[in-house]
Chain A
């Protein structure tokens, strides 16, 4: 007996067929002993299952349900509506991260393209006082090569003192110059001083940060002060500049 016929017999026994289908199938089952036996078994099943409808009396009470709700299930009937869009934070966070990286990279490129301040060591007449606010990029070079801005050779070796490296947020970037294979560029964090890896004569080239506000203030000993000379250097034609170690009484302005 195939499965299709058996399904039909089950439907016949449980009353799921139309009268015409039922008559046709009953006639067919009369000719097939297996089908007849299967039909009898399904009818017995139907009667037996219907006799199982009786169930014993339950012993429920409202107090029992109330206790159950109070002890294990008490919760405000109207709870918060959980949003089906909780997954949205991932693409939003990814987009925000991408935009922030692009913005930081763009602002970093603009900062690096600013003209650089060339430091000199000679004392200057009519100095211009500037406060260099970090971040400041200092290229330490032993060949006095400056790529941006007027090029000046240092008269005295510039000694830059610092103690902090990565602990205070300083990033070290190694750059290669055509004249020297060992050029270190330091990206300084706020309030940091430069550090030279060796005691050799160096030229420090600093990109000019955004010009300081002309608000007068008293320079502190910890902030570096660069004096820019009005006179031009005879060899390079650029203005000379020098750094003053301590100038606690110097007025700082733009």
Chain B
């Protein structure tokens, strides 16, 4: 029945669903409306993908995690409580998936590091006109990227949420499952851990 619901999704409803809130879409999806879930996917996939990419530094890994996150969200829609935002709940799933994936592959191969460096090259190309400045900026970014990838997953998730994605502390607290004060403390610890790792790479004392 669910399969027929999935395959028989009427695309004409998508325009109407764009106006619905996340809560309304979740309710429709719970009742078997797969189109509502696809609308949720369209609405939030970029947000989830950005976070997953910052955590994994690889596009294919990030896409796999996002796909897994939405599959799990679909499977567990009945567990979602309306008091939290849907994006918060979704990012919590992604955070757990990224942490699990990072724990499974703590030691990256040299090839993966090269690929990460290649992604960094792609991001930094053409930003600065002066070749010397470009070289120095590239070196610092590479050091930062290495230091960020060397962080434990819980520190890295905090840095990504706060300093890259610029999320507010209450939002972070909901995602991480802690208090606002706890989220601030985690951010402080993560920043110090990042600084301790990046300083040797830049040739500075800690």
Contacts and interface: CB of A to CB of B under 8 A. Distances in A.
Interface stretch (B16-24, B59-67, B101-109): B59-67
Interface in A27-60: 37-38, 41-42, 44-46, 48-56, 58-60
Interface residues of A, number: 42
A11 B188 CA distance: 8
A10 B62 contact: no
Given A42-B195, A58-B59, A60-B49, A48 B66 contact: no
Contacts of B184: 16
A65 interface: yes
B38 A49 contact: no
- Chain B interface helix/strand/loop/mixed: helix
A86 to B, nearest CB: 17
B159 interface: yes
Contact of B163 (A37, A50, A62): A50
A14 B191 contact: yes
Number of contact residues on B: which range applies?
A: 35 or more
Contacts of A72: 71
A117 to B, nearest CB: 66
B188 A10 contact: yes
B75 interface: yes
Contacts of B123: 51-52, 54
Contacts of B145: 52
Interface string A1-25: 0010011001100101000000000
A167 interface: no
A55 B199 contact: no
Nearest to A75: B75
28 contacts: A3-B192, A10-B191, A37-B204, A44-B140, A45-B195, A48-B140, A49-B164, A51-B123, A52-B54, A52-B145, A52-B148, A54-B123, A55-B49, A58-B45, A58-B46, A58-B62, A60-B45, A60-B67, A62-B42, A65-B70, A69-B71, A69-B74, A70-B6, A73-B71, A73-B74, A75-B2, A76-B1, A77-B2
Interface of A: 3, 6-7, 10-11, 14, 16, 37-38, 41-42, 44-46, 48-56, 58-60, 62, 64-66, 68-70, 72-79, 81
Interface of B: 1-3, 6-7, 29-32, 34, 38, 41-42, 45-46, 49-50, 53-54, 59, 62-63, 66-68, 70-72, 74-75, 77-78, 119, 122-124, 140-141, 144-145, 148, 159, 162-166, 184, 188, 191-192, 194-195, 198-199, 202, 204-205
Given A41-B198, A69-B70, 7 more contacts: A16-B184, A45-B144, A50-B164, A51-B141, A58-B62, A58-B63, A70-B6
